[in-house]
Structures are given as structure tokens and as C-alpha cells.
Amino acid sequence: MTKRTQAEAEAAVRVLIEWAGEDPDREGLVETPARVARSYKQLFAGYAEDPRDYLEKTFEEVGGYDELIVLRDIRVVSFCEHHMLPFLGRAHVGYLPTNRVVGISKLARVVNGFARRMQIQEKLTAEIAEAIQEVLQPQGVGVIIEAEHSCMTMRGVNTPGSNLITSRLMGVIRDDPRTRDEFLRIAREHY
């Protein structure tokens, strides 16, 4: 993959501005290519990190805790790879630990690290679950994401208010009906 410079990104934005029918040299737009390029760096910051790294530090003194751990309503800001438009919503992430747990902020960091890339929601959901399964090796993992896609609400089919719900369940959260029901109930309690 070709590595591009900030200057090249700015030139590309300038082309898009012109293509949209605007004058990139008018006062309000002069700095826009630079702003957009900087903004893309932040919005796509996920390419500069491996979210698995957040899960390396764990705690084993859990007092025998062996029930589900669920972090609900993690804000998701991601981008559909078809239109590069945002999809916004919430993720619910749970796991059934084996003998160690992770700091809860790290679950949100993992979501954010994968979200700040271009992809479809199905892939985002799977990547989060698989990273947790791979690094923490819990008895089970569940990830549910509900999000509204700007490419559907702002353009195209124009259906504001419709949410895409995706889930990836692994291990006992997928295979043991009682654990699965408990996870889904906790994750959906507020729907």
C-alpha cells in the first residue's frame, strides 16, 4: 500500500471541493483541505494501533468472581467502507472470565481502536469479539452493536431512525443457552 503524505491528502481534498462545485481558494475554504486531512488522521486513528495491546494487562485477584462481565452502551463512531460516511451507535461487550479480568476501560478502548477504521459493521463486531477471545481467552465473549448508518439516513434510501444490529457470540455465550440468554438479557435490558 502506498504511504501518502499530508500534502497529498490535502491536494485530494482540494479536488473534491472543486468537484463538488466550490471554490477552494475562497476565504472560508482556504484552510479546509488541511483541516480535513488532520481530521481524517483522528477519525482513522485505529490504523495506527493494535487494539489487542490494550488487553495484555489483566488482574487475577478477583475474589473468585466467575460471572458475566458486561460493559454496556460504549459509544461507537465508525465509518462504512462503502461511502466513508460515519455510522454511530453503541456497543455492548461481555465476557465470562476464566481466571483473570481486564480493566473495563480497556474494553471501550478495544471498541474504539477497531471502530476508527473503514469497514462494515459486521466486521467491526467480529473483530472486537475475536480480539477479546484471542488475548483474554475467556470462557465466552459476546459483542452486540446497534448503529445508525449515515449512508442510509443522509442519502441513498433516506431512512433516518433505522438501526443495524449485529452480534458476534463465542464460546459459552454462544453455545450455552443459559449464559447466552443472560448476556442477551443484560445487553438488551434498556431497549
Ligand X SMILES: Nc1nc2c(ncn2[C@@H]2O[C@H](COP(=O)(O)OP(=O)(O)OP(=O)(O)O)[C@@H](O)[C@H]2O)c(=O)[nH]1
- Among 80, 92, 119, 182, which one carries the catalytic annotation? 80
Task: Please tell me whether 190 is known to bind a ligand.
Answer: no
H/E stretch holding 182: helix 177-188
The catalytic position among 22, 137, 139, 151 is: 151
* Calpha distance 147→145 (Å, rounded): 6
Q: Which is nearer to Zn ion, 78 or 112 (CB)?
A: 78
Residue 124: name the closest of 86, 94, 168 by CA.
168
Is position 118 an interface residue for ligand X (rule: CB under 6 A)?
no
Buried b (16+ CB within 10 A) or exposed e, 50-86: ebbebbeeeeeeeeeeeebbbbeebebebbbeebeeb
Distance CA 152, CA 76 (A): 17
Stretch that binds ligand X, among 13-21, 23-31, 151-159, 167-175 (CB under 6 A): 151-159
Q: Between 14 and 92, name the residue whose CB sits nearer to ligand X.
A: 92
- Using CB under 5 A as the binding rule, whether residue 123 contacts Zn ion is answered as no
Q: Are 147 and 88 in contact (CB under 8 A)?
A: yes
151 binds ligand X (CB under 6 A): yes
Q: Which stretch binds ligand X (CB under 6 A): 1-9, 12-20, 136-144, 145-153?
A: 145-153
Q: Is residue 149 within the footprint of ligand X (CB under 6 A)?
A: yes
* Nearer to ligand X among residue 55 and residue 152 (C-beta): 152
- Please choose, from the candidates 72, 53, 44, the residue with its C-alpha nearest in 3D space to the C-alpha of residue 136: 53
Q: Would you please indicate which residues are annotated as catalytic (active-site) residues?
A: 80-83, 121, 149, 151
Question: Which parts of this chain interact with ligand X (CB under 6 A)?
Answer: 80, 82, 120-122, 149, 151-152, 156-157
